[in-house]
Amino acid sequence: MSDMDSHEKRLVFWWLLLSVLSVISLETAPAFNNKAIFAGVVMVIAFVKVRIVIREFMEVRAAPIALQLVLDVWAIAICTALIIMIV
């Protein structure tokens, strides 16, 4: 759309990155001989995507610091727990 402002262009950039990360995480599996490393990479990519959605689409980057912290701590805790359990 030609009438996009800078904020909308920024949102489109994040959407492109999220889409590329989704394809990469699915298509690069054969490149990994080590399943554990692949599983760790998949989890980290998933939670990087989650954080982008929270901060950019949900606009949490402009929210009170307490909400930002709660969501960051949640993401790090669940991602770490999943990596420990899966890898």
Which of 20, 50, 40, 34 lies closest to 85 in space, CA to CA? 40
Element (H, E) at 72: helix 65-86
Residue-by-residue DSSP string for 11-60: HHHHHHHHHHHHHHHHHTGGG-S-HHHHHHHHHHHHHHHHHHIIIIIS-G
**Cβ 70 to other proteins shortest distance, Å:** 7
As measured in angstroms, the least distance from the Cβ of 42 to other proteins is: 5
Two structure tokens written together for 84: 């420990």
Residue ranges in contact with other proteins by CB under 8 A: 1, 3-5, 7-8, 11-12, 14-15, 18-19, 22-23, 25-26, 29, 35, 38-39, 42-43, 45-47, 49-50, 53-54, 56-64, 67, 70, 74, 78, 81-82, 85-86
Shortest Cβ 54–other proteins spacing (Å): 7
